[in-house]
């Protein structure tokens, strides 16, 4: 039986090179139970905290620690620079009404079309510089073993993280951004192909991974995007990655925090349903295509920049979720959803990925 162990396992002090991707998912964040299940199975669980206030991040870190003594990580979305973060949601809404009245009117029409009462997103989450700084601070203070930075430039956290003994991971979607991660001094680079769920770039993994591996030099690379079983992990290893960062496959886990209807959408989706739209946040997001993403693209309006489009759509999503209208909310996921057929415990998903990776690697030996 092939042993599935790469140098990144020693670096992260884990048994298998499989990492639960950071998934902040618009205010919900990752349940500690899912993180602990992946860490306890021998991988690295990562708490997606990008949309959570600092006190909630602190609570979830403590909850993970009560469920496992294995290493885990926290994922935050950093802006390219802290100066890029903007003011409050109320200020952003005001600006949309003044500068982009057509978009404001379109959103009002969307509410009417779908019979949704307006219910603006209340929280001031992760719109202000102050909140991002608080998120970083709470994570560093907790000395979580791994700090993962999706989007943005991790250079702003690397020195402090090093000082407290944390490893830093940075996500990139292009060879150019891989160089930025190298310059930032990260310990691990995650290369996310366009196949991936959530915010995603335009380059597919066959082209992306070998180029990021070359750019990374001695820094280990994890492959991300579209990996839903061990065949994807084995292919990633062949392309030079040392393991995989897997999101969508774990979204449907019993311990996952999504409402069951959203899990069912993913289980029933075909790969063709998982489309990229700029309208959910202002940056390209891969999610289940639905009447709302279609209506925006039919409108002919350009997506507003972040954070305007995001604030606009978070209000819509809040109204849809409150009304349990799951068919018109954003349900982020990758192209791999087409290969996911059932909701199961995370450990079962994890063990099957390990098993099928070994089988694939073994079968290649005969060639």
Ligand X SMILES: Cc1cc2nc3c(=O)[nH]c(=O)nc-3n(C[C@H](O)[C@H](O)[C@H](O)COP(=O)(O)O)c2cc1C
Chain residues in the site for ligand X (CB under 6 A): 21-25, 48, 50, 75, 77, 150, 171, 192, 195-198, 224-227, 245-248, 251, 332-334, 336
Q: Which of 263, 265, 262, 245 is nearest to 254 (CA)?
A: 263
**In whole angstroms, how close is the CB of 281 to ligand X at the nearest point?**
10
**In whole angstroms, how close is the CB of 10 to ligand X at the nearest point?**
23
Structure tokens at 256: 């996952």
CB 45 within 8 A of CB 34: yes
In terms of residues, how long is the chain?
367
Nearer to ligand X by C-beta: 100 or 168?
168
DSSP state of 4: -
Nearer to ligand X by C-beta: 25 or 360?
25
**In whole angstroms, how close is the CB of 75 to ligand X at the nearest point?**
5
CB 212 within 8 A of CB 181: no
**In whole angstroms, how close is the CB of 115 to ligand X at the nearest point?**
26
CB 224 within 8 A of CB 246: yes
Structure tokens at 1: 């039986």
Nearer to ligand X by C-beta: 177 or 192?
192
Nearer to ligand X by C-beta: 192 or 236?
192
CA distance 76 to 169: 11
**In whole angstroms, how close is the CB of 274 to ligand X at the nearest point?**
9
**In whole angstroms, how close is the CB of 249 to ligand X at the nearest point?**
6
CB-based closest residue to ligand X: 150
Nearer to ligand X by C-beta: 4 or 246?
246
CA distance 191 to 283: 18
**In whole angstroms, how close is the CB of 101 to ligand X at the nearest point?**
30
Residue 286 main-chain phi, psi, to 5 deg: -90, 125
Helix axes 101-113, 308-322, angle to 10 degrees: 10
User: Computed from CA positions of residues 134, 140, 146, 150, in that sequence, does the dihedral angle turn out positive or negative?
Assistant: positive
Q: Which of 113, 115, 34 is nearest to 73 (CA)?
A: 34
CB 240 within 8 A of CB 217: no
Nearer to ligand X by C-beta: 25 or 329?
25
CA distance 291 to 211: 37
Nearer to ligand X by C-beta: 42 or 152?
152
CA distance 194 to 173: 7
**In whole angstroms, how close is the CB of 365 to ligand X at the nearest point?**
27
**In whole angstroms, how close is the CB of 86 to ligand X at the nearest point?**
18
CA distance 257 to 30: 6
Nearer to ligand X by C-beta: 100 or 223?
223
Nearer to ligand X by C-beta: 320 or 332?
332
DSSP three-state, residue 20: strand
CA distance 306 to 61: 28
């Amino acid at each position: 039986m092939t042993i599935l162990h790469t140098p990144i396992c020693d670096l992260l002090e884990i048994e298998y090179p499989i990492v639960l991707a950071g998934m902040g998912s618009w205010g919900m964040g990752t349940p500690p139970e899912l993180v602990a299940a992946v860490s306890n199975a021998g991988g690295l669980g990562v708490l997606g905290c990008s949309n959570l206030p600092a006190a909630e991040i602190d609570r979830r870190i403590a909850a993970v620690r009560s469920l496992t003594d294995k290493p885990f990580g926290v994922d935050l979305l950093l802006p390219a620079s802290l100066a890029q973060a903007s003011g409050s949601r109320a200020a952003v809404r005001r600006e949309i009404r003044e500068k982009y009245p057509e978009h404001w009117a379109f959103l009002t029409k969307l509410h009417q079309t779908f019979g949704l009462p307006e219910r603006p997103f209340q929280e001031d989450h992760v719109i202000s510089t102050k909140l991002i700084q608080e998120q970083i601070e709470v994570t560093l203070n907790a000395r979580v073993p791994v700090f993962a930075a999706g989007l943005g430039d991790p250079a702003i956290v690397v020195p402090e993280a090093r000082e407290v003994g944390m490893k830093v991971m940075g996500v990139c979607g292009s060879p150019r951004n891989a160089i930025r991660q190298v310059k930032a001094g990260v310990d691990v680079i995650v290369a996310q192909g366009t196949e991936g769920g959530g915010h995603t770039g335009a380059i597919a993994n066959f082209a992306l991974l070998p180029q990021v591996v070359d750019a990374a030099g001695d820094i280990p690379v994890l492959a991300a995007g579209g990996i839903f079983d061990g065949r994807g992990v084995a292919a990633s290893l062949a392309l030079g990655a040392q393991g995989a960062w897997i999101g969508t496959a774990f979204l449907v886990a019993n311990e996952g925090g999504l409402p069951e209807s959203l899990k069912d959408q993913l289980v029933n989706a075909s790969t063709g349903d998982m489309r990229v739209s700029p309208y959910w946040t202002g940056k390209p997001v891969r999610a289940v295509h639905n009447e709302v993403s279609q209506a925006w693209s039919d409108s002919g309006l350009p997506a507003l920049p972040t954070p305007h489009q995001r604030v606009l759509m978070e209000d819509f999503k809040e109204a849809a979720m409150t009304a349990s209208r799951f068919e018109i909310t954003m349900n982020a996921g990758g192209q791999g959803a087409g290969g996911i057929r059932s909701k199961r415990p995370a450990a079962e998903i994890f063990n099957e990925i390990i098993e099928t990776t070994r089988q694939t690697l073994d079968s290649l030996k005969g060639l």
